[in-house]
Structures are given as C-alpha cells and as structure tokens.
Amino acid sequence: MTSNGASGATSFAPADSNDKVEFVITIADPCRTTTVNTITVTGADSSSPYSKAVTDGSSTSVTFVRPTTTTEDTNGVVQVCGETSYSLHSDNTGTAFTYNSGWAVISGPVSGTFTLTVDTTVDLSLIANEASKTISIYVKATLDDYTSYTRESYTQVDIVIS
C-alpha cells in the first residue's frame, strides 16, 4: 500500500489497482434498540407490583437506583447508553399524572440513589371517606439520549392511603 498524499496521510491505495479489496464497515449503536429494565424499588411493603402504605396526613418514601439496560447487562459497560430521566404517570402508557403532582416527588440522586417521596399533607383530596384508597403511580425511566427511539420503561408503585 502506498500513501495517496503527503507524508502522514491517512488515505492509502494499493500499489496495484488489481490488488484492491473493498469492504463496508457498519457501526451500529446498540442503545437504539436496547430495553430499559424496570426499576427495583427498595423499602416497599410488597413487590409485583410494588406497594407502599401511608397514613393520611403523613409521608413515606421508597428508593431506587438507575435501572440498567439490556445492552449494559450484555456488554458489562455501566451507563453506556447515557443518563436516565424519571417522571411520574397515571398508567404505563405515559398518561399525565392526574393528581396534584406535589404529593409524589422524585428527588436525587444522592450517592446514586433516587427517592420517591409521598406526602399526603400536600393534597388533602387524595382520600375522602374511604377506609383506604390505592393510587397507582408509574415511574417512567427514559434514556435521555434516545428519546426518539422510545427507550423507556414503567415501574408501578401502588400507594395505599388509609
């Protein structure tokens, strides 16, 4: 192979055109097709779905860490698909959270841990004369750099107010 240009060139051609070999290199981004795993919640009263009880007029919280993706699990590279954002929804299709959003808030991270805090004093209309009421909250985890590829997951946390 000889250089096609000045010394230090990065373009090369075979010395004889009959010796030419052509090939295509395709670079694929596995994060475009990855699956975001659901969140593992710590401090819940139960799982599948997660559930957390709270007495009306008080607050409680659960914690979670950033969920991995199937690409990260397969390749063993942490956060190869970038940062993750979280939002609260009324279902697992992205419906806007219909309650006063101030009573359920995600904060953090602190040392890699996020906190979902439920404070029933912020919205006094969450429960009326029922003995208890369950409100499902869906925590949506979205890969920030891949929002146009729908790289997200929903994790259900049922809040049982009594």
What is the per-residue pLDDT for 124? 86
Domains of the chain (ranges; CATH) run: 2-161 (2.60.40.10)
What is the per-residue pLDDT for 1? 45
Residue 3 has pLDDT above 50, yes or no: no
What is the per-residue pLDDT for 22? 79
67-90 pLDDT, tens digit per residue, is 999 999 998 888 899 999 999 999
Mean pLDDT, to the nearest integer, of 36-59? Answer: 95
Residue 2 has pLDDT above 60, yes or no: no
Entry pTM:
0.81
Identity of the amino acid at 162: S
The token pair at 141 is 């985890």
Residue whose entry in the numeric block shows the structure tokens 């049922």: 158
Cis peptide before 49 (omega within 30 of 0): yes
The token pair at 7 is 């010394």
132-148 pLDDT, tens digit per residue, is 999 999 999 999 999 88
**Are the CB atoms for 69 and 81 separated by under 8 Å?**
yes
Residue 9 has pLDDT above 80, yes or no: no
